A and B are shown apart, each in its own frame.
Chain A
Amino acid sequence: MKRKSDQYWKSNIKIVSSLLVIWFIASFGFGIIFSESLDQIKIGGFKLGFWFAQQGSIYVFVLIIFLYVWLMKRLDKKLSQEKDK
C-alpha cells in the first residue's frame, strides 16, 4: 500500500514537472527571452514573438491544464484499480 502511494506520487511529480517545462518555454521562453528573435518570423500581421507574448502563451496555458486533468484522471484510475486487486 505504502509503495503504491509512493509510486503514485512519483508519477504525479513527473507529470507536473514536464507540464511546467512547457509552461516555462511558452511564456518566459517564447514570450520573453526568445521573443525578439521569433519576431523575425511573421504569420499574417503578427510577429511570432509578439503573438506568443499576447496570445499564444495563453492558449498553451489552457491546453496544459486540460492535459493535466486528463493525465491525472488516468493516473487516479490506475491507482484505484491497483488498490482493488
Chain B
Amino acid sequence: MTTQLLTYIFVGVSFALYIGIALWSKAQSTNDFYVAGKGVHPVANGMATAADWMSAASFLSMAGLIAFLGKDGSVYLMGWTGGYVLLALLLAPYLRKFGKFTVPDFIGERYYSKAARKLAVICLIFISFTYIAGQMRGVGIVFSRFLEVDINTGVIVGMAIVFFYAVLGGMKGITYTQVAQYCVLIFAYLVPAIFISILMTGNPIPQIGFGSTMVDSDIYLLDKLDQVTKDLGFTAYTENVKSNIDIFCITAALMFGTAGLPHVIVRFFTVPNVGAARQSAGYALIFIALLYTTAPAVSAFARMNLIDSIQDQPYSTSPSWFKNWEEIGLIAWKDKNMDGKIQYSSGNALDDIKPKYTNDRGDSGERVVENIPNLSNGNEIYIDRDIIVLANPEIAQLPGWVIALVAAGGLAAALSTAAGLLLVISSSISHDLLKKTYMPNITEKQELRYARIAAAVAIGIAGIFGIYPPAFVAQVVAFAFGLAAATFFPALFLGIFYKRLNKEGAIAGMLSGLIFTASYIIYFKFINPEINNADFWFLGISPEGIGAVGMILNFSLALVISSLTNPPPNEVLSMVDEIRQP
C-alpha cells in the first residue's frame, strides 16, 4: 500500500471515530453544553485537557523550533508545562468550587461588575481567535502534504468535523472526542520518536536516548551535535544564545499565560468536585509531559539527521522528502557557490528570509527563487521549522504507516485544540454577553440555541482564517500568552487569594496589562519590526516575554487602586470565603 492510501485510511478511521463519539454524547442542557454536566472522570479530563492544550503548535512546530533553537528552546518546554503547577495550586480547585460556567463568569461575579465581565469577554475572544488561526494552518499543512488535496478543501473538511461534534455535543462531545484524540496524537508522536531513538542510539526510550552515545561509536549524541553545529557556524546546540533575562521573562510569560488561558481553565469546571480538579491537573500534566519530554529528544535527533542527510549532497541525488517539501514551498535551495551541492550553515540563505519561487527550474532541477541570495554567509537552504516533525519519519526512512500515523496525529492535535477554543468563544458569547448582560430573560433552551449558533459562526470565522491565513499568524502567538498572563492570571489569582481586591483595582489592572502588552508587541512586531532586537527592547526583553512585565504592572496597579477605593461588598467577601473551602 502506498503511504498516501495508508494516510487516507488512518485519517478516515480517526475521523469516523470522532463522529461516532459525537453522536453518542449529544448535549441536552446548557450544563451539558458548557461543562459536560460536571461529571467527567479526573483521568478522562486529564486526557481531554492534554489534547485541548497540545495544539498544532505543540505537535507540529515545537520540536522543529527546538531543533533550530537548541537550548533556547527550553523556554517552550518549561513555559508550557510549568504553567500547570500554577494552575493546579493557585486556580483550578477554587474555580471549580466557584462552580459556574466560564472564566468571564468568575470575573464578573467576583468583581461584581458587568464592565469587568465584558472586558474579560473581549480578552478571551482575542486570545482564542489568535490561537485558532494557528490550528487551521496546521490542518492545511497536513492535508496538502500528505493527502495532496488543496489546502482549502482540507480546511473545509476539518471545519465540518469540528462543526459536527462541537455544535452537536458541546463540551460533552468535545471532552470525549478529545480523549480519543489524545490517544491518537500521543501514539503518533511516540512511535516515530522510539523508532528514531533506536536507530540513532540503540535505546528505545527517547528521553534517555538523546543523552546516550550514538550507535557504533562511543561519542555522546549531544557532544557530536554540539561539535557539528559549531563547525557550521551556529552556537553549540546545548548552549544559550538569548540573554538570561529574556529567557527568564519568556518562560514566565508562557507559564503564567498557560495558567490564564480560558480554554484550559474551563476544562477543570467539568469534573465533579474540588479534589477531582486537583487530581485531574496532575493527570493532565503527566499526559502532557509524555509528549513534552519526548519533544527535545526528537529535536536533537532531527537536527542531527537533517545535517547528515543533506550536507554536501548533490541536489540531483538529494532525498525525496527534500524535494517534496520544496514542491509545497517550505524548503528552498539557492546554489550560491554553483557546485551543485547543498551546503547548510548559519545565517539566512535568502534576503527577505521566505522564498519567492518563479516557475523556472535551475541547472540541477531545483525550483528557482527570485530572492536575492544573502552573500554574507554560505548557507544555501531555507527550511520552514514547521516541517521537522512531519518530515522526521521520512528523513529517518521509517515505513509508510508511521508517516500516515503522524498525519492523523497532527490533525488530532489541531482539531482538539480548535474545538476547545470554539467552545469557550461560543459560551462566552451566549452565556456572558447574552444571558448575563444583554438578554437576561432568555430561557435555558434559547440560551442553548444561541450557544450552538455562536459555535457555528465561530467555526465559520476560524475557517476563513484557515483559508486566508493572516500573514501575521506566527507573529501573534506571543499575543495569546502575553495577554493571558497580563490580564487573566492576576485577576483570577488575586480574586481568590486577596479578598480586599475590588472592582476598580481589577479593571484597572486588566486594562493596564492589556494596553501595555498589546502596544509593546504591536510596536515591535508591526510598526517598527526593523528595530525588533535586544538593543531597543525594554531591559532587553523581547515581545515574546513582555507579558511577564505586563503582569507585574497589572498586579501593582490592581493593588494600589484597590487600596485607594472602597472594599468589595460583603456578599463578595463571603463568596471568596466559600470558594476557599474544599
Nearest B residue (CB) for A47:
B238
**Complex Cα gap A82–B234 (Å):** 63
Q: Is B251 in contact with A32, judged by CB distance below 8 angstroms?
A: yes
Q: Is A61 in contact with B580, judged by CB distance below 8 angstroms?
A: no
> In B537-582, which residues have CB < 8 Å from any A CB?
577, 580-582
Residue from the list A23, A28, A45, A59 in contact with B293, Cβ < 8 A: A59
Residues from chain B with a CB closer than 8 A to the CB of A68 are 88-89, 278, 282
| Max chain A C-beta neighbours (<10 A), residue from B81, B93, B208, B255 | B81
Is B377 among interface residues, defined by CB-CB distance under 8 A?
A: no
**Complex Cα gap A19–B282 (Å):** 14
Nearest CB of chain A from residue B250's CB, rounded to whole Å: 10
A/B pair count, beta carbons within 8 Å: 118
Nearest CB of chain B from residue A61's CB, rounded to whole Å: 5
Is B244 among interface residues, defined by CB-CB distance under 8 A?
A: yes
**Complex Cα gap A79–B74 (Å):** 41
Nearest CB of chain A from residue B309's CB, rounded to whole Å: 22
Residues from chain A with a CB closer than 8 A to the CB of B292 are 58
Residue from the list A5, A50, A62 in contact with B286, Cβ < 8 A: A62
How many residues of chain B have a CB within 8 Å of chain A? 48
| Max chain B C-beta neighbours (<10 A), residue from A5, A28, A45 | A45
**Complex Cα gap A20–B582 (Å):** 20
Is A41 among interface residues, defined by CB-CB distance under 8 A?
A: no
**Complex Cα gap A66–B82 (Å):** 14
> In A36-61, which residues have CB < 8 Å from any B CB?
36, 39, 43-47, 50-51, 53-55, 57-59, 61
Residues from chain B with a CB closer than 8 A to the CB of A8 are 581
Q: Is B286 in contact with A45, judged by CB distance below 8 angstroms?
A: no
**Complex Cα gap A44–B71 (Å):** 17
Main secondary structure of the interface of B (DSSP, over half): helix
Residues from chain A with a CB closer than 8 A to the CB of B86 are 23
**Complex Cα gap A49–B437 (Å):** 51
**Given A27-B78, A32-B251, A53-B71: A44 in contact with B285 (beta carbons within 8 A):** no
Residues from chain A with a CB closer than 8 A to the CB of B71 are 50, 53-54
Nearest CB of chain B from residue A56's CB, rounded to whole Å: 10
Q: Is B74 in contact with A53, judged by CB distance below 8 angstroms?
A: yes
Is B210 among interface residues, defined by CB-CB distance under 8 A?
A: yes
Residues from chain A with a CB closer than 8 A to the CB of B271 are none
Residues from chain A with a CB closer than 8 A to the CB of B74 are 31-32, 53-54
Q: Is A55 in contact with B85, judged by CB distance below 8 angstroms?
A: no
Residue from the list B66, B208, B580 in contact with A9, Cβ < 8 A: B580
Nearest B residue (CB) for A9:
B580
Residue from the list B81, B210, B251, B275 in contact with A61, Cβ < 8 A: B81
Nearest CB of chain A from residue B110's CB, rounded to whole Å: 17
> In B441-460, which residues have CB < 8 Å from any A CB?
none
Q: Is B296 in contact with A61, judged by CB distance below 8 angstroms?
A: no
Is B178 among interface residues, defined by CB-CB distance under 8 A?
A: no
Residues from chain A with a CB closer than 8 A to the CB of B148 are none
Interface 1/0s, chain A 1-41, versus B by CB < 8 A? Answer: 00001001100100010011001000110011101100100
Is B413 among interface residues, defined by CB-CB distance under 8 A?
A: no
**Complex Cα gap A70–B213 (Å):** 39
**Complex Cα gap A62–B291 (Å):** 13
Interface 1/0s, chain B 409-452, versus A by CB < 8 A? Answer: 00000000000000000000000000000000000000000000
**Complex Cα gap A76–B581 (Å):** 9
Q: Which 3 A-B pairs have the closest CB atoms?
A: A45-B220, A53-B74, A65-B282
User: Could you jot down 21 A-B contacts, CB within 8 Å?
Assistant: A8-B581, A16-B89, A23-B86, A32-B244, A32-B247, A33-B248, A43-B211, A44-B208, A45-B220, A51-B211, A54-B71, A54-B74, A55-B296, A58-B81, A58-B293, A64-B85, A64-B89, A68-B278, A69-B279, A69-B282, A76-B275
Q: Name B residues whose Cβ lies closer than 8 Å to a Cβ of A.
A: 66, 71, 73-74, 77-78, 81-82, 84-86, 88-90, 93, 207-208, 210-213, 220-223, 238, 240, 244, 247-248, 251-252, 255, 275, 278-279, 281-282, 285-286, 289, 292-293, 296, 577, 580-582
